[in-house]
Amino acid sequence: HGGALSLTVNGRRHQVTIDNRTSLLDLLRERLALPGTKKGCDQGACGACTVLVDGRRVNACLTLAVRCQDAEVTTIEGLASGDGEPHALQRTFVEQDAFQCGYCTPGQIMSGVACIREGHTGSREEIREWMSGNLCRCGCYVKIVNAIAQTAR
């Protein structure tokens, strides 16, 4: 079964016809040509696919696209300002050297943006707790917390 879906991604309205089983992750990557959101485990265990839906952090691999009717989705491609200026957290990730291979980085940054916006930055432990669903196989956790803490200041 399929159906029509309309939603806004990074400020741009899209109308697509999709199979009801399509994940938001596959919609973004395969239908909307937005590959910045990564597919790690595809089962909710790694956080590589983290995006914001109506401002709230979700794992796009676990979110059915059909549940996003009229939603506002933000992906890593939509974080920079209109004139291409990177988001403050993108800048501090670079400054703090908070990645090695970079595969988990879009998800880390989207989770980190939600962490800051929702005020879970009272301590390093609080940041780590919030970020615990975003795995980094290169082990950059300390530097990721540094970047979020620095941006939140």
Applying CB under 6 A, the span of 37-45, 67-75, 83-91, 113-121 interacting with ligand FES comes to: 37-45
Rule CB under 6 A: which of 127-146 touch ligand FES?
none
Q: Give the nearest residue (CB) to ligand FES.
A: 61
Between helices 141-152 and 88-95, what is the axis angle to 10°? 140
| CA–CA distance, 111 with 92 (Å, rounded to integer) | 14
φ/ψ of residue 52, rounded to 5: -105, 130
**Is there binding between residue 73 and ligand FES (CB under 6 A)?**
no
Q: What is the DSSP letter of 136?
A: -
Residue 106 touching ligand FES (CB under 6 A): no
Contact with ligand FES (CB under 6 A) among 5, 29, 32, 59? 59
C-alpha–C-alpha distance, residues 60 and 63, integer Å: 5
Q: Which residues bind ligand FES (CB under 6 A)?
A: 39-42, 44-49, 59, 61
